[in-house]
Amino acid sequence: MKKKTFAVFGLGKFGESVARELAQIGAEVLAIDVDEEKVHEIAPYVTRAMKVDVCDKETMESLGLSNMDGVIISITGNLDASIMATILCKEAGVPYIMAKSGEEIHSTILKKVGADKVIIPEKESGLRVARSLISGNFKEFIELSSTIRMIEIAAREDWVGKTLRELNLRKRLNINVIGIRDKNEIVMNLDPDIPIKKEYSFIVVLDKRDLPRLMKS
């Protein structure tokens, strides 16, 4: 699976949290802010960090936004800049735009100019937002401890028709399959020789360090 790529505009507390969590989970992240100090601070943790004025249309057009899987617009205290960034990302053909808002009226405006989703940080943490963006085929994501995660993941296209024994996911991806969901029924006593159906989803347990490998598989 190809790595997901995201751009995060605005590196306040919320934007920085989203950018760092996305990078930690395994995405390629372009982090952007007008404040050079914030750009410098986050640079070691993301793929690329840049000082950019989002109202500079020419510079924005040079960022390759059309190649991104999504952007997160988290500009603090400047609704005009948030609106401009949203419009330019929409014009660039970004497939998914998430914007941060401080008020309901601002949420309405951002949706009108192209945001697919508007979130209010007081209601959603940067950690949760990052996970929702990166999840892809992940249907559920639960922290069992500081290092262990339990995930429900849809059957990959190349898994269908094969058996658990053939896939050997523990060896290939270092994940432990503890159950399979078939529609609304969860089966825990697994037969390793039953062919996998496309409607199956897998309940797996893994170390968080193995998440990037699972995403790329």
Whether the Cβ atoms of residue 10 and residue 74 lie closer than 8 Å to each other? yes
Single residue among 117, 134, 151 that ends a domain in this structure: 134
Q: Do both 85 and 106 map to the same domain?
A: yes
Closest CA to 213 of 46, 26, 18: 26
Closest CA to 6 of 47, 61, 51: 47
Identify the pLDDT of residue 78: 85
Distance CA 119, CA 28 (A): 22
CA 81 from centre of chain: 23
Q: Do both 122 and 156 map to the same domain?
A: no
CATH, residue 147: 3.30.70.1450
Q: What is the mean pLDDT of residues 63-69?
A: 92
What backbone phi and psi angles, to 5 degrees, belong to 18? -65, -45
Count of residues making up the chain? 217
Q: Do both 130 and 173 map to the same domain?
A: no
Identify the pLDDT of residue 157: 87
Q: What is the mean pLDDT of residues 52-67?
A: 91
Distance CA 21, CA 188 (A): 31
- Is the entire prediction scored with pTM above 0.85? no
Q: Do both 111 and 207 map to the same domain?
A: no
Q: Do both 97 and 55 map to the same domain?
A: yes
Single residue among 68, 103, 134 that ends a domain in this structure: 134
Where in the sequence is the domain holding 156, given as residue range(s)?
138-216
Q: Do both 32 and 121 map to the same domain?
A: yes
Single residue among 134, 149, 179 that ends a domain in this structure: 134
Q: Do both 20 and 113 map to the same domain?
A: yes
- Residue 94: exposure state from Cβ atoms within 10 A (0-12, 13-18, ≥19): buried
Identify the pLDDT of residue 193: 92
For the segment 148-197, what is each residue's pLDDT rounded down to a tens digit? 877 888 888 899 999 999 999 988 888 888 888 887 788 878 888 989 99
Q: Do both 84 and 97 map to the same domain?
A: yes
Q: Do both 168 and 210 map to the same domain?
A: yes
Q: Do both 146 and 126 map to the same domain?
A: no
pLDDT, greater one: 79 or 124:
79
Distance CA 203, CA 142 (A): 11
Identify the pLDDT of residue 5: 92
CATH, residue 90: 3.40.50.720
- Per cent of the chain over pLDDT 70 is 87
Q: Domains in the chain: how many in total?
A: 2
Please, which residues have CB within 8 angstroms of residue 147's CB and are 6 or more apart in sequence? Answer: 207, 208, 209
Q: Do both 77 and 98 map to the same domain?
A: yes
Alpha helices in the chain, H assignment, sequence order: 13-25, 36-42, 57-61, 79-91, 104-112, 126-134, 164-167, 169-173, 211-216
Q: Do both 12 and 70 map to the same domain?
A: yes
pLDDT, greater one: 120 or 163:
163
CA 50 from centre of chain: 20
Identify the pLDDT of residue 85: 93
